[in-house]
Amino acid sequence: MPQVFGKLPTTRQPWISLGNVDHIEKHDRGVILTCGTAKLRLTILAANLVRVQLAPQGEFLPRRSWAVNRPDEEWEQVPFELEENEIRTSQIRVVIQRSPCRIQWFDQSGQPFAHDTDMGWRMGQIACWKRIETEEHFYGFGERAGLLDKRSEVKTNWTKDALDYDAIDDEMYQAIPFFIALRPQLTYGIFLNITHLSQFDLGASEPGIWRMQAQSQELDYYVIHGDAPAQILETYTALTGRMPLPPKWALGYHQCRWSYETAEVVQQIAHEFRSRKIPCDVIHFDIDYMNGYRVFTWSPKRFPDPAKLIQQLKQEGFKTVTIVDPGVKYEPDGDYLPYHEGLAKDCFVRNADGSLVYGYVWPDKAVFPDFLRAEVRQWWGEWQRTLTEVGVEGIWNDMNEPALTDRPFGDEGVHIPFPMDAPQGNPGEGGTHAETHNLYGYNMARASAEGLRQLRDQRSFVLTRSGFAGIQRWSAVWTGDNQSLWEHLEMSLPMLMNLGLSGVSFVGSDIGGFAGNATGELFARWMQIGMFYPLMRGHSSLTTAQHEPWVFGERVEAICREYIELRYQLLPYLYTLFWQSSQTGAPILRPLLYEYPNDSKTYHLHDQLLLGSHLMAAPVYRPGVEYRAVYLPEGTWFDWWTGEKYEGNQHILAHAPLERMPMYVKAGAIIPMQPVMQYVDEHPIAQLKVRIYPGVGEFTLYEDDGRSLNPDYRTTTFQVNDTIVKIQPSHAVRDRTMLVEMVGVGEQSISEDGSAKQLDFHSHT
Ligand code: GLC
């Protein structure tokens, strides 16, 4: 096969187009169409979910054991009708056009979507073309540079070390072949269930037609229909899995740098946070904690007693996260055990001829575990004991696209992929690197998560740079090496929102920018919106200026403190959003189109964000800007800071001096808050404050101990109707009171004795 590193080859071989339907055969879960030598299988998995497979030679591939989705047999069988050329479920209608064979999709009101215009194959490639309807826009695609809507663009699915990326870059660290198409009154999702190199062309080559194409023998994709993006994501994450609830401390502020390179420097950083009263929960250790970049070691010089250091940090309320890269130093002569043991157990990827695959990474010449194999994941997971036994509570996986070069880093090596024909996985179960490349980071994160689960009887934190569809089951994701530029602050917004629309909720970008030096103004603005990032981590690169909240002077420090404090005050609300996401796949950080899918004014709105459904930020992302336009969709909105009321369906001009990130709340919002703490659960909450905005709304607060794997939990459901509030708790809470504030009306304090309550704010004031 051609060596393709990212882009599909531009061969001019003609496509062989799928011909006429000769025969339609019904089976339990759908139909199989015979079209000459080819077979097309439609499997109805739910009323809104159909799997489509095209086998040009009529033989469907066996299901791969490492496939990420829920197997077809595990879906409860749903009723459907087949009449002549038409399949009907309770939600959609699928029409089979016979000559030539094309599939047409309709919602209940007869609106068309995802209509095939062609299907075909050529030289190891397969493709399908579909119609773009008027007003259709495209979102998701995993981690993507650029703005929100991807119509007219080409998106390749191939994990890559996207160093120095900018807005026009295509491949990124993550490859998630999933998107949501949206137009007023109609939403559908496409999940291309192929791990090989693949590509979506959203009308770039042919306006009015979108294409998916893959370097694979079989076409395999799912069509999901929904009344709104929420239903698409619920179904997509039922297929690819949902995020388990992370430890609550992982929602606090994380501080990182490449590198805090000695124990003394780490202690100093920790001390600064506490003495300056800037809340912080997590300190990340970048590559310099290791001995010569050997994974699962500590530098004896710089970190002579990691257990003692981490214990001290723990006493001050900090959790420790260490970076772990996949490249294991190739060291036949030394006594470096991960190398020798890995070799003895045959854990590393080999070439087709049996020789070891190697490349150059931080430790110079390195070999790479084959994470596709369960026993290798188990072995790797167990090695994490060297970290957990000294107190490490989270693992940060980096360079797992995988990133490697052909020569030592200092020697101008160029990035190379593994040889495409290197086998991975156990014989009979695996595939070549060409087929499994996109799964490398995914399976590394899986090894980390599964290993931590065995080593620790509580929740752990995993962060990964690379991943594939379903990565949310194992890890949080950050958007790699961004830059200290206003453009990158801006771009982080659509990037994180599109990740959320791809099933990956626990996401963040390096606050302040990784490469380059932030100005105080950029840093302050970035910290303000960083408060909305599900993962709130500051990070900066080697040789850049320091980027901690206090290095830019008192004014910026005060802004950072205020917004990090607000983050901690919002934790009861935020933690509930994490819980919701773990139950339904709903993003935590959402573009407005998620909540207002029929309002086309939201379709390009990349610079306003919702945290949950009701709290909106309109950040400033240009220097010297003190005012910005804000779009308020339908309904009534309140200014978070002043309580001022606005009617929606209009643009307003927000005043945003440096201290102020414009924030708005929808009428009917219920926002539970806690007092400021220096770290999560620093002390029990004496008073829970619930801010309620007059209107109609409901919110169920979720609380548990924040760390257990199967925790006892309690819920409190709030309903507001105008100025009447009903509260239904599942349990009593000892030693805590609740202060309910009806914004602009008044406050009432109640005891949390476990009984249902009704508060009338009208009569109260
Ligand atoms: C990569 C990571 C970055 C990290 C650096 C050193 O560039 O993306 O976050 O600091 O490697 O480990």
Angle at the Cα of 522 from the Cα atoms of 259 and 571, rounded to 5 degrees: 75
User: Which atom of ligand 1 approaches the CA of 259 most closely?
Assistant: 10
CB within 8 A of 84, min separation 6: which ones? none
Q: Which two tokens stand for residue 80?
A: 């459907």
pLDDT band at 468; cut points 50, 70, 90: very high
Distance in angstroms (rounded) separating the CA atoms of residues 51 and 260: 49
- The answer on pLDDT for 708 being more than 70 is yes
Q: Is residue 142 within 8 Å of residue 162, measured between CB atoms? A: no
Q: Is residue 162 within 8 Å of residue 178, measured between CB atoms? A: no
Number of CB atoms found within 10 A of residue 58's CB: 13
401 as an active site residue: the answer is yes
pLDDT band at 123; cut points 50, 70, 90: confident
Mean pLDDT of all residues belonging to the chain: 96
Task: Answer yes or no: is the C-beta of 401 below 6 A from any ligand 1 atom.
Answer: no
149-202 pLDDT tens trace: 999 999 999 999 999 999 999 999 999 999 999 999 999 999 999 999 999 999
Smallest Cα–Cα separation from 664: which of 647, 677, 688?
647
Strand order across the 282-285 sheet:
507-508, 476-478, 461-464, 394-397, 319-324, 282-285, 253-255, 536-538
Task: Answer yes or no: is the C-beta of 398 below 6 A from any ligand 1 atom.
Answer: yes
CB within 8 A of 732, min separation 6: which ones? 752, 753, 754
721-748 pLDDT tens trace: 998 999 999 999 999 999 999 999 999 9
Distance in angstroms (rounded) separating the CA atoms of residues 691 and 672: 6
Q: Any alpha helices (H) in 550-680, and if so which ranges?
A: 554-569, 571-584, 592-595
Helix (H) or strand (E) holding 37: none
69-82 pLDDT tens trace: 788 989 999 999 99
Q: So what's the pLDDT on residue 434?
A: 95
Distance in angstroms (rounded) separating the CA atoms of residues 616 and 602: 13
Q: Which of 288, 481, 488 has most ligand 1 atoms within 8 Å of its beta carbon, as the pocket-test mutant?
A: 481
Helix (H) or strand (E) holding 493: helix 486-500
Distance in angstroms (rounded) separating the CA atoms of residues 256 and 318: 13
481 as an active site residue: the answer is yes
pLDDT band at 92; cut points 50, 70, 90: very high
Catalytic residue among 136, 161, 234, 398: 398
Distance in angstroms (rounded) separating the CA atoms of residues 704 and 715: 9
Placement of tokens 């320091």 in the chain:
546
pLDDT above 90 as % of the chain: 93
676 alpha-carbon distance from chain centroid: 27
Q: So what's the pLDDT on residue 3?
A: 41
Smallest Cα–Cα separation from 215: which of 119, 127, 130?
127
Task: Answer yes or no: is the C-beta of 258 below 6 A from any ligand 1 atom.
Answer: yes
Placement of tokens 């905005």 in the chain:
693
Q: Is residue 637 within 8 Å of residue 239, measured between CB atoms? A: no
Beta bridge pairs of residue 102: 97
Q: Is residue 262 within 8 Å of residue 491, measured between CB atoms? A: no
Placement of tokens 């990420």 in the chain:
68
pTM over 0.85: yes
Instruction: Give the residue, by CA position, lying nearest to ligand 1 atom 10.
Output: 258
Q: Is residue 273 within 8 Å of residue 255, measured between CB atoms? A: yes
pLDDT band at 2; cut points 50, 70, 90: very low
Number of CB atoms found within 10 A of residue 62's CB: 8
530-558 pLDDT tens trace: 999 999 999 999 999 999 999 999 999 99
